[in-house]
Amino acid sequence: MTEIYQNYQAFSSDVLPKLEQVLTTELQRSVSNSKLRAAMSYTLATGGKRFRPLLLLTIVQIFAPQKLSSALKPAAALELVHTYSLIHDDLPAMDNDDYRRGKLANHKKFGEAQAILAGDGLLTLAFQWLAEADLPADIRIQLTQRLSQAAGPSNMVAGQYLDISLSEADTQKTDFEVLQKMERQKTGALLNAAITMGAIIAKVEAPVDKLLDQFGWQFGSAFQIADDIVDAKSGQDVTEDKQTYVSLYGLVDAKNKLSQQIIAAQQTLDQIKVAPTDLIASFLGFLEA
Ligand code: GRG
């Protein structure tokens, strides 16, 4: 029987253990080298919020709850890509961070070459899991297209490339458009993919699919501003030459921008009349500063 959830809390506490189960058992099944598997599962298991898979599963729950169990593997694939990006982002050649989520970064725990390979393994495995998902072939092709487009050289990789170029450039301030493009590619695209992959699985039709796509970008933008505000409040990234919404506008204006983005995203959801969107609107609550 398909569950009807009263609120986001009830939904996530039911679905999260199922997602964790898929991540653990599928990783065990897919990676035979136990040392490589340990390096891959280390960052996967160290306290991520699982935002992206939860977004995907929430969309499926709203529009096609009977497909929730077959959406678990694509949702897990999304978390693999996110985890790879964090491992590679922490490397000395990139952001050079020794810690992630309060624990040693992957390369500090396992060594640099091992961390590169753990990231490579996670990224590649994500597409294996998409190909293996218990979904029709046309849906699996669409999911593959969407995830590779979001994670690859037209979005996340390009965003990271631009970020590194900006950090290395000897200029004072990045202008707003460049910062927005970088963050849209680097962070927004994968969050948008979480929502639109959910819509693909649930076979959401026009015009609602377009509204969800729009919501995905708005959510991604709000997420990034919220992340910059959290970093600034905790003293991270403010002394470096890194450009963020806070370094560009100051804390007060960044908070105003965040509020505007949250309102715009909620207005997009309000246009979706075919299904109640409260579960997905709950995600906006997590971003409020
Ligand atoms: C290496 C190609 C490549 C890309 C890396 C995503 C990314 C690009 C870098 C991460 C840098 C960063 C901290 C960006 C800000 C937004 C972001 C992705 C925050 C972390 O996401 P959360 O809050 O993380 O969902 P958890 O820890 O909950 O999984």
CATH number for 137: 1.10.600.10
H-only helix segments in 189-273: 189-201, 208-233, 245-249, 251-270
Q: Is the peptide bond before 276 cis (omega within 30 degrees of 0)?
A: no
Residue 3 is assigned to a structural domain of this protein: no
Query: How far does the centroid of ligand 1 lie from the alpha carbon of residue 4, in Å?
Result: 32
Q: How would residue 239 be classed by pLDDT, with cut points 50, 70 and 90?
A: very low
Taking alpha carbons only, the member of 70, 21, 25, 44 closest to residue 122 is 44
Residue 289 or residue 277, greater confidence: 277
Angle, alpha carbons 62-66-69 (nearest 5°): 100
pLDDT exceeds cutoff 70 at 143: yes
Q: How would residue 77 be classed by pLDDT, with cut points 50, 70 and 90?
A: very high
Residue 242 is assigned to a structural domain of this protein: yes
Distance, first Cα to last Cα, the chain: 38
Residue 85 is assigned to a structural domain of this protein: yes
Counting ligand 1 atoms within 8 A of each CB, the residue from 89, 91, 286 with the most, and so the one to mutate, is: 89
Q: What's the pLDDT tens digit per position in 217-234?
A: 999 999 999 999 998 988
**pLDDT for res 54:** 97
For the chain, what percent of residues have pLDDT higher than 90? 84
* Full-model pTM: 0.95
Query: How far does the centroid of ligand 1 lie from the alpha carbon of residue 186, in Å?
Result: 8
Instruction: Characterise 276 by phi-psi region: left (phi > 0), alpha (psi -120 to 50), beta (else).
Output: beta
**Residues 120-138: what's their mean pLDDT?**
98
Atom 26, ligand 1: residue with shortest CA distance: 48
When computed from its CA atoms, the radius of gyration of the chain, rounded to whole angstroms, is 19
Residue 225 is assigned to a structural domain of this protein: yes
Lowest mean pLDDT among 7-11, 63-67, 111-115: 7-11
Atom 14, ligand 1: residue with shortest CA distance: 187
**pLDDT for res 171:** 65
pLDDT exceeds cutoff 70 at 151: yes
Residue 2 is assigned to a structural domain of this protein: no
**pLDDT for res 242:** 73
pLDDT exceeds cutoff 80 at 289: no
Which residues are within 8 A (CB) of 233 and not within 5 positions of it... i.e. 6 or more apart? 251
Strands 103-104 and 99-100: antiparallel
Residue 206 is assigned to a structural domain of this protein: yes
Ligand 1 atom closest to 83 (CA): 29
Domain count, the chain: 1
CA 130, chain centre distance (Å): 16
Q: How would residue 92 be classed by pLDDT, with cut points 50, 70 and 90?
A: very high
Using CA atoms, how far residue 25 sits from 43, 73, 143, in Å, is: 16, 11, 22
Atom 3, ligand 1: residue with shortest CA distance: 85
**Residues 187-202: what's their mean pLDDT?**
98
Query: How far does the centroid of ligand 1 lie from the alpha carbon of residue 154, in Å?
Result: 17
Atom 5, ligand 1: residue with shortest CA distance: 85
pLDDT exceeds cutoff 50 at 166: yes
Query: How far does the centroid of ligand 1 lie from the alpha carbon of residue 187, in Å?
Result: 7
Ligand 1 atom closest to 186 (CA): 8
Query: How far does the centroid of ligand 1 lie from the alpha carbon of residue 244, in Å?
Result: 14
CA 184, chain centre distance (Å): 12
Atom 17, ligand 1: residue with shortest CA distance: 187
Separation CA 114–CA 116 (nearest Å): 5
Which residues are within 8 A (CB) of 178 and not within 5 positions of it... i.e. 6 or more apart? 162, 166
89 lines ligand 1 (CB under 6 A): yes
| ipTM score over 0.90, yes or no | yes
Q: How would residue 169 be classed by pLDDT, with cut points 50, 70 and 90?
A: confident
In the structure encoding, which two tokens stand for residue 263, read together? 């309102």
Instruction: Please give the residue range of the domain that contains residue 255.
Output: 8-287
